[in-house]
Amino acid sequence: MQDMISLDDGVGIDVMDVGWPLRDLGRRMTRAAVMLDSRMRTLTAQPEEGAATAEYAVVLVAATGFAAVLVALLKSDAIKTLLTNIVKKALSV
């Protein structure tokens, strides 16, 4: 009688060892529980607060560009005249 049965992966199992299916099932269940725990921790993790360094740099560049546009607008003669008239009208009330 043959003492070892070969599985697909080449691992031999003793014919008299009837507990191996339960141990294998236990290992698979433990692995599944660890994976489930890992996935649950990933899903329930708190999102990052604030901007990361690259995002922060992009926001600063955008804000600087917006400020440059505002400065260019406020230096134009049409806007100066408009703002001056608004202030004069508000003070004359």
Helix (H, G, I), strand (E, B), or coil: what is residue 16?
coil
Contacts of 3 (CB under 8 A, 6+ apart): 14, 15
The residue ranges of every structural domain in the chain are: 4-44, 53-91
Average pLDDT, the chain: 81
Q: Taking the model in full, what pTM does it have? A: 0.37
Task: State how far the Cα of 93 lies from the Cα of 86, in Å rounded to an integer.
Answer: 11
- pLDDT bracket for residue 51 (50, 70, 90): low
- pLDDT bracket for residue 12 (50, 70, 90): low
Are the C-beta atoms of 34 and 27 separated by less than 8 Å?
no
Give the pLDDT of residue 52: 75
